[in-house]
């Protein structure tokens, strides 16, 4: 019996296995890799990974997929499947030693999961994720563009993009109403005091139409002692935000 995708979980199962080779290339898979996969769905990517790497830790929220996933992964002892909410689990404990995150991410958790993984999974060296095209475009958007926002700044402060591949809706079931993309990026380093930088960045973009000082103040940050430029957040580069956060030390 095939379990249907649940719209409320943002599920779109990968069914066209031709895309797996592209994922493998962008993820730079090696036989000694330890990989974290979030949202294995029906297991198409999971089995592909398991046949090529040393260990796969797969995290799935939907317990109704258990029988199908267990059956599909039978005979692959290098896969550890855990059911739970990836945004709530301690993924460093769930996937010990994972150096890569390779996943067809459920639409509704893609952005928060990646942002949280930047500092909460410091051992991750490479991400290769399938996300909505609109989300993928935000990751490495340039300042003063519509797509540029807090997620752009945070990802660009920690990583550099290494690959990008547009993906047709036809590779999924059910077929989504939006285009998707594979995007790969590699860790370059974590700025000192990243939590403070993250707080300042998110506060800066919290009220996007307002000037920087107003957005920060409305977000509860005291700006009275800090000279701020009369600009909106989207006009600042990622490096500018590092300098800005230093003023609130």
Q: What residue spans define the domains of the chain?
A: 7-187, 194-246
What's the confidence (pLDDT) of residue 5?
A: 45
Q: For residue range 193-225, list pLDDT tens digits in order.
A: 999 999 999 999 999 899 999 999 999 999 998
**Can you give the pLDDT at residue 12?**
64
Query: How many helices (H) does the chain have, and how many strands (E)?
Result: 10, 9
Q: Using CA atoms, how far apart are residues 234 and 231, in angstroms rounded to an integer? A: 8
The stretch 229-247 carries a mean pLDDT of: 97
The pTM is what?
0.92
What is the assigned CATH class of domain 194-246? mainly alpha
> Tell me: domain 7-187, CATH 3.40.50.300, correct?
no
Per CATH, 7-187 and 194-246 having the same topology is answered no
Q: What is the pLDDT of residue 7?
A: 43
N-term to C-term CA, the chain = 57
Q: What is the pLDDT of residues 219-236, one digit of tens each?
A: 999 999 899 999 999 999
Please choose, from the candidates 35, 37, 46, 101, the residue with its C-alpha nearest in 3D space to the C-alpha of residue 68: 46
């Amino acid at each position: 019996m095939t379990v249907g995708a649940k719209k409320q979980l943002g599920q779109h199962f990968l069914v066209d296995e031709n895309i797996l080779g592209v994922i493998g290339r962008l993820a730079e898979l090696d036989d000694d890799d330890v990989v974290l996969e979030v949202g294995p769905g029906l297991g198409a990517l999971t089995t592909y990974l398991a046949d090529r790497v040393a260990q796969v830790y797969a995290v799935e929220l939907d317990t109704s997929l258990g029988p199908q996933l267990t059956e599909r992964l039978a005979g692959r002892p290098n896969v550890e499947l855990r059911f739970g909410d990836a945004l709530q689990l301690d993924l460093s404990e769930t996937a010990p030693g994972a150096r890569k995150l390779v996943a067809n991410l459920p639409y509704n958790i893609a952005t928060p999961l990646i942002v949280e993984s930047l500092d909460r999974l410091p051992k991750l060296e490479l991400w290769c994720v399938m996300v909505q095209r609109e989300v993928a475009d935000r990751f490495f958007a340039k300042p003063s563009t519509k797509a540029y926002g807090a997620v752009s700044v945070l990802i660009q402060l920690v990583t550099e993009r290494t690959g990008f591949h547009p993906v047709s809706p036809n590779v999924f079931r059910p077929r989504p109403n939006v285009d998707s993309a594979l995007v790969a990026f590699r860790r370059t380093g974590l700025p000192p005091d990243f939590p403070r930088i993250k707080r300042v960045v998110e506060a800066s973009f919290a009220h996007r139409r307002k000037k920087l000082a107003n957005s920060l103040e409305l977000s509860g940050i005291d700006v009275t002692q800090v000279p701020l430029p009369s600009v909106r957040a989207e006009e600042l580069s990622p490096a500018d935000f590092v300098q800005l956060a230093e003023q609130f030390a």
